Structures are given as structure tokens and as C-alpha cells.
Amino acid sequence: MDENILKWLFDIKTSIGEIESYFENSKFVFEDYKSNVMLKRAVERDIEIIGEATNRIIKLEPNYINLISESKSIVSLRNQVIHAYDNISDEKIWAILINHLPILKIEIESLLNPYL
């Protein structure tokens, strides 16, 4: 595997782990997320990193579009968080955290498994 891709996959893994760590005490409670501006900004920053790393991966090696199932949506979300920050709802981010982040975590760990 290309060293850059490996680094970016680790960046994604790290950002997923950071998001999970933000909820260690509250176990993913939407009200805790919605009422905590610092928590929302931290999650959004990790989403930006995940999206940027995914974008770099698929630009360097397009076949990763098939290995990271929602890669185009991940990049699109990154762009929305950065460029259309005023149109991102707490509910949308929350749905991604609950429904899509666990799947992404499994895919990234599978890709990294030979290197761990």
C-alpha cells in the first residue's frame, strides 16, 4: 500500500477514535451533543479530517471508492461542513455519527488490519 494512503487511513481511524472518545461518558446522547458547542465543533473538525483524508485517498487511488463505501458522500459532507457550515443541522451530523460512522470504522479497520 502507498505510504500516503496508509497515513491517511490512520488519520481517518484516529478521527473516528476521537469522535468516539468525546462520548465516553454520555454514550452518544443527542441532547448532550446538541447543547455542547465545543463538542459539535470538535466532531465537525474530525469530520473535516475524515473527509479530506478520504478525498486524498480516492484522488491518488480511485479504486478506494469501492473499498470505502460512502467515500463520495464523506467528501461531500466535508465540503458542506467547511463551505456551507450554516446549512449543517445537528440532526444530520448526529444521523451520520449513529448510522454511518460505525460502518466506516469497520471498513477502515479492515483496510488497516494487515498493517496493525
Strands (E) in the chain, as ranges, are: none
Other C-beta atoms closer than 10 Å to the C-beta of 101 total: 19
Q: If residue 106 lies in a helix (H) or strand (E), which one and from where to where?
A: helix 101-112
pTM of the model: 0.93
What's the rounded Cα separation, in Å, for the pair 90 and 103?
A: 20
Residue 63 is predicted with a pLDDT of 95
SS3 call for 69: coil
Rounded-to-integer distance, Cα 16 and Cα 43, Å: 9
| The three grid cell numbers given for residue 70, joined into one nine-digit string | 460512502
Low pLDDT (below 70) residues in the chain = none
pLDDT value of position 85: 85
Query: What's the mean per-residue pLDDT of the chain?
Result: 94
